[in-house]
Amino acid sequence: MGTTASQLGKDLLSEYQELTFLTKQEILLAHKRFTELLSKEDKALPNPRIPMQSILTLPELKSNPFRKRICHVFSTSDMKDGSLTFEDFLDLLSAFSDSATLEIKSHYAFRIFDFDDDGTLDVGDLEKLVNCLTGETDDTRLTPDEMRQLINNILEESDIDKDGTVNLSEFQHVISRSPDFVSSFKIVL
Amino acid sequence: KEMEEHQSVNFMRLLSDESGCSILSEDSCVYHHTEIYEELPSSQAARHRKQGGWQTCEAEPGRLPRGAKDKTSTQPLRNLLLCLQGKREARNRRNLEIRSVGFWESWRRSQSINRKRVWAGVRGALSSLLPWQHVLHSIEGRFGVGVKSYFVFLRYLVYMNLLHCVVISSFILGPTAFYGREPLTFEDDDSFLDFFLGSGFLERSPVFFGYYTRGSLNLTCLNTPLLYLNGVLAILILSLIMVVRRTAVSYKHMRLLGKRYSVNVSFKIFCGWDFTIQDHAAASLKRSFIRNDLKLYLEEQSFSLRKAQRTLAQRVRLYTLRIILNLLVVSLLGGAFYLIYFATITSQSEGQKVSLILQYLPPIAITSVNLVLPHVFRKVSSFEDYSFTTQVNVTLLRSIFLKLASLGMYLFFLFRADPFFTLNWEKNNQFGREMYKLCIFDFLASFCNTFLLNYPRKWLYPSSLLTRLLGKQRFLIPDNVLDLVYHQTVSWVGVYYCPLLPLLGTVKLVVMFYIKKFTVLRCCVAEQRMFRASSSSVLFHFMLLLGLFMAVATFGFNLYQFALSSSCGPFANGASVFNVTGVCVDSLPGPAQSAVRYLASEAFALPLILAEIVILTSYVSRGRANQRAIERLKDMLVMCSSDKRFLVKQHTTMLRNKKRTQKARTTDAGEDSSACQ
């Protein structure tokens, strides 16, 4: 642990503590896990990125149907390939940590569910979301009729301004009434 | 009005999607759209409360609305919705010195998080301490909430029986064991069969009423008969409170869930996934759980749609069909009752001979009738075109009527059959013995049903013609719930004469849990259609309540009938329930005595009823007022959103006009500046 601490640097560590919801131990653990995923040649680079494929091998993400979306949302890569730097990784863990606020969690949940990144959940996004939840194979998927009916129901309930999509504030409106969202929207290393 | 608006909005979106040139204005519309939401008083108030920011990671500082900017400068950096680099820039903008997190603060924060985690861990451990949590979870994932609700009900009955055991042992068994009676002796003619018949050595054992004679504990207000009576009363009253409470809770739950306008589906979708799941099996379980849930919801909805679209002719045909089927059900019930009557008469007339078959004839009749008729009822109700949940509930209601009524008939004939028998000292024990036999036989029947019928049938399924005709096995919730309710009713009815029935019941229910788990997981396939558990669990508990009322009625009748003629057990030698309590009351001091007498008189009943009426009325009116308030709030919510919608539209058109004129002016002047707000 001593070596990792020295690798991370004391100033950096305390800066991360200030800017994220993570504790010192969690940041150190995250750093350890992150360096384990790095390949040999990447370790020499100043600000290495882990490709999405190796992020997805983390057991915390492996069985999550939204794992690719999570990577894409937290990635700051210009290539839009879902690769994460250490700081992106900390952002991810901070948003999914115990002490992140409902505001932050619901914001990121919205962006994860917004598959086409257009700022609203439209019919296509909802369809993909439901498929992720029920399972993607043909026999687990809902029939097209059921899907249409379901999406109409969702929009009828949550689309307050009736514009055919669910926007962030409407989404947060729904989420804020769920008591267990904060406890289920959580990934801890 | 709202529909109109909706359509016009759709139209607008369609237009903007088709024409490429208006994409820009659409974008700015979205942007202003969020901005005007920011400036609304309601959302600003909300922000004050929540202390949160609205800007996204990509948002540039210049585009931030003023109000939001003021807000963000006061909140801690880590609450900003920015990536780490963005937060650094925000800090630079705020010109804060780089604050190093001190040792103390770092320790404090990690402590608070650790504390939270420990609490969550403790809570998780406590909930996993509840027995069978894991089994229930996997059953729910594979078979849906309906089957799970059966197992939850079973577990609830186990709890209740355990509580009864505690009451029994503290009121009845404890004092008796302490104040002595000769230990149980075995005689030569005792056989293993006695265990099933409840005769022989069992008759002299603490299983039955006759064992509990008035021992050395013989004060006026603390003696065996009084304790015995209090124990049985405590069980009945406790059960009443528990069942009523449970029924009320599930009823409330059902009402809350059954309302329209709720955000049920959105919850299921948006908060459905549990991100803490790491295990692959748990993930697929969760998926199938969500799928079951959604399918159930959709099916119910499409059924209600279909129901609304029925024509008059269809409706008439349906109702005639239902009436005919109900007549059929009634005649079947009549036939079943006659069969039970016949069986009871036969077994009573040969009362002296101890023949196993004849002794068990009434239980066999009851069990076989109850084994066959529910299946018939299920088939009948499938013709009636109810929704699946209603279908299950209707079958349940018919079968419970059959089951409880057949038990009631049996009890009635038991009392009626031999009037001279009443004076026999064995009478009381005999009643307890009948209940004991019913309980044992019921258990044997379900055991055999599982291991001799269901399990082989599963193995024979693809090969044998008969089993293929019968189809794959499904877990039939009505039948199984009925068994439980029946068992519990027998236990309540018999507890006065056979105080160890709750103990027997607890053991039986625990074994039943494993047998049923085996049946579900090994022999059954998941039901294609799902059904709603909330309304059914009300029904389960309601049936339990019916059973309890029946038990109380029997108990009262027993007390009344045997008050004078008991010759064994705690109330032997002329001590009846009434004079034992009477003696106790007489020994009390004067004021207490008159208070008890007043409480027992009719003069007290009137004010009691009046007070109850007043309380009930106030609750009902309060409930109505709440309902009206909820309706009004819902209306207000709808109005608010349509107001907002209207304002946003006005605002965007105004802005667009403004921009157009500005653009025209700038092109006129030939300047090179872009459009600003």
ipTM: 0.88
Identify all chain B residues contacting A123, using CB atoms and an 8 Å cutoff. none
Q: Give the model's confidence band at B161: pLDDT under 50 very low, under 70 low, under 90 confident, else very high.
A: very high
* Angle between helix A102-113 and A168-175 (nearest 10): 120
Instruction: Determine, for residues A177 and B301 on separate chains, whether the beta-carbon distance falls below 8 Å.
Output: no
User: Which residue has better confidence, B200 or B605?
Assistant: B605
What is the DSSP secondary-structure string of B232-294? Answer: HHHHHHHHHHHHHHHHHHHHHHHHHHH-TT--HHHHHHHS---TT---HHHHHHHHHHHHHHH
pLDDT of residue B434: 77
CATH number of A103-185: 1.10.238.10
Domain A10-96 has CATH 3.30.1050.10: no
Identify all chain A residues contacting B16, using CB atoms and an 8 Å cutoff. none
Identify all chain B residues contacting A160, using CB atoms and an 8 Å cutoff. 637, 641, 644
Average pLDDT over chain B, rounded to an integer: 74
User: Which residue has better confidence, B362 or B339?
Assistant: B339
Q: Is the model's pLDDT at B540 over the cut of 80?
A: yes
Identify all chain A residues contacting B77, using CB atoms and an 8 Å cutoff. 18-19
Our CA-based measurement puts residue A143 at a distance from the nearest CA of chain B, in whole angstroms, of 10
CA-nearest residue to B102 within chain A is: A14
Interface test with B, best of A134, A148, A170 (most B CBs within 10 A): A134
Residue in B30, B77, B298 nearest the CB of A19: B77
**Do residues B520 and B575 lie in contact, with contact meaning Cβ atoms separated by under 8 Å?**
no
Taking one residue from A and the other from B, the number of pairs with CB-CB distance under 8 angstroms is 195
- Give φ, ψ of B218 to 5 degrees: -140, 50
Q: Is the dihedral of CA B91, B96, B97, B101 positive or negative?
A: negative
Q: Is the dihedral of CA B205, B209, B211, B212 positive or negative?
A: positive
Q: Give the model's confidence band at B27: pLDDT under 50 very low, under 70 low, under 90 confident, else very high.
A: very low
The Cα B27–Cα B39 span in angstroms is 19
Instruction: Determine, for residues A20 and B78 on separate chains, whether the beta-carbon distance falls below 8 Å.
Output: yes
Query: How much is the pTM?
Result: 0.68
User: Which residue has better confidence, B540 or B15?
Assistant: B540
pLDDT of residue B420: 45
Judged on CB neighbours under 10 Å (0-12, 13-18, 19+), A12 is middle
pLDDT of residue B121: 80
Q: Is the model's pLDDT at B421 over the cut of 60?
A: no
Q: Is the dihedral of CA A121, A123, A127, A128 positive or negative?
A: negative
Instruction: Determine, for residues B84 and A87 on separate chains, whether the beta-carbon distance falls below 8 Å.
Output: yes
Residue in B77, B113, B645 nearest the CB of A99: B113
Residue in B30, B85, B648 nearest the CB of A87: B85
Per-domain residue ranges of chain B: 1-56+618-660, 133-600
Instruction: Determine, for residues B83 and A161 on separate chains, whether the beta-carbon distance falls below 8 Å.
Output: no
Interface test with B, best of A22, A62, A63, A158 (most B CBs within 10 A): A63
Identify all chain A residues contacting B37, using CB atoms and an 8 Å cutoff. 169
Instruction: Determine, for residues A88 and B267 on separate chains, whether the beta-carbon distance falls below 8 Å.
Output: no
Average pLDDT over residues B232-245: 90
Identify all chain A residues contacting B79, using CB atoms and an 8 Å cutoff. 101, 103-104
Instruction: Determine, for residues A17 and B283 on separate chains, whether the beta-carbon distance falls below 8 Å.
Output: no
Residue in B88, B110, B273 nearest the CB of A133: B273
A177: its two tokens: 């009434």
Long-range contacts of B551-557 (CB under 8 A, 24+ apart): B551/B236, B551/B489, B551/B492, B551/B493, B551/B495, B552/B236, B552/B240, B552/B492, B554/B411, B554/B493, B555/B232, B555/B236, B555/B493, B555/B496, B557/B415
pLDDT of residue A112: 92
The Cα B663–Cα B30 span in angstroms is 20
Q: Give the model's confidence band at B202: pLDDT under 50 very low, under 70 low, under 90 confident, else very high.
A: low
Identify all chain B residues contacting A163, using CB atoms and an 8 Å cutoff. 9, 13, 645
Q: Is the model's pLDDT at B247 over the cut of 80?
A: yes
Residue in A135, A154, A184 nearest the CB of B291: A135
Percent of chain B with pLDDT over 70: 68
Q: What is the CA radius of gyration of chain A?
A: 19
Average pLDDT over residues B126-134: 77
Q: Is the model's pLDDT at B31 over the cut of 70?
A: no
Residue in B2, B53, B637 nearest the CB of A162: B2
pLDDT of residue B612: 95
* Angle between helix A102-113 and A86-95 (nearest 10): 110
Q: Which of B21-25, B211-215, B592-596 has the lowest mean pLDDT?
A: B21-25
* Angle between helix B477-494 and B361-382 (nearest 10): 150
- Give φ, ψ of B524 to 5 degrees: -110, 155
Length of chain B: 677
pLDDT of residue A180: 72
Our CA-based measurement puts residue A40 at a distance from the nearest CA of chain B, in whole angstroms, of 25
**Do residues A50 and A83 lie in contact, with contact meaning Cβ atoms separated by under 8 Å?**
yes
Residue with tokens 């109380």: B552
| Alpha-helix residue ranges (DSSP H) falling in B383-449 | 388-416, 426-448
Q: Is the model's pLDDT at B154 over the cut of 80?
A: yes
Q: Is the model's pLDDT at B674 over the cut of 50?
A: no
Instruction: Determine, for residues B270 and A177 on separate chains, whether the beta-carbon distance falls below 8 Å.
Output: no
pLDDT of residue B47: 53
**Do residues B336 and B375 lie in contact, with contact meaning Cβ atoms separated by under 8 Å?**
no
Residue in B83, B284, B302 nearest the CB of A88: B83
Q: Is the model's pLDDT at B49 over the cut of 50?
A: no
3-state secondary structure of A84: strand
Identify all chain A residues contacting B290, using CB atoms and an 8 Å cutoff. 133-134
Instruction: Determine, for residues B294 and A126 on separate chains, whether the beta-carbon distance falls below 8 Å.
Output: no
Average pLDDT over residues B123-137: 78
pLDDT of residue B15: 36
Per-domain residue ranges of chain A: 10-96, 103-185
Q: Nearest Cα to A97, choosing from B77, B116, B105?
A: B116
Instruction: Determine, for residues A153 and B265 on separate chains, whether the beta-carbon distance falls below 8 Å.
Output: yes
3-state secondary structure of B371: helix
Q: Give the model's confidence band at B475: pLDDT under 50 very low, under 70 low, under 90 confident, else very high.
A: confident
The Cα B433–Cα B216 span in angstroms is 27
pLDDT of residue B622: 95
pLDDT of residue B50: 44
The Cα B494–Cα B551 span in angstroms is 8
CA-nearest residue to A120 within chain B is: B30
pLDDT of residue A6: 45
Q: What is the DSSP letter of B523?
A: I
Q: Is the model's pLDDT at B464 over the cut of 70?
A: no
Residue in A14, A164, A185 nearest the CB of B101: A14
Q: Is the model's pLDDT at B579 over the cut of 50?
A: yes
Q: Which of B160-174, B199-213, B249-263, B465-479 has the lowest mean pLDDT?
A: B249-263
Q: What is the CA radius of gyration of chain B?
A: 35
Residue in A18, A109, A181 nearest the CB of B99: A18
Residue ranges in chain A modelled with pLDDT below 70: 1-6, 179
The Cα B152–Cα B146 span in angstroms is 10
Instruction: Determine, for residues A11 and B81 on separate chains, whether the beta-carbon distance falls below 8 Å.
Output: no
A182: its two tokens: 């904060």
Length of chain A: 189
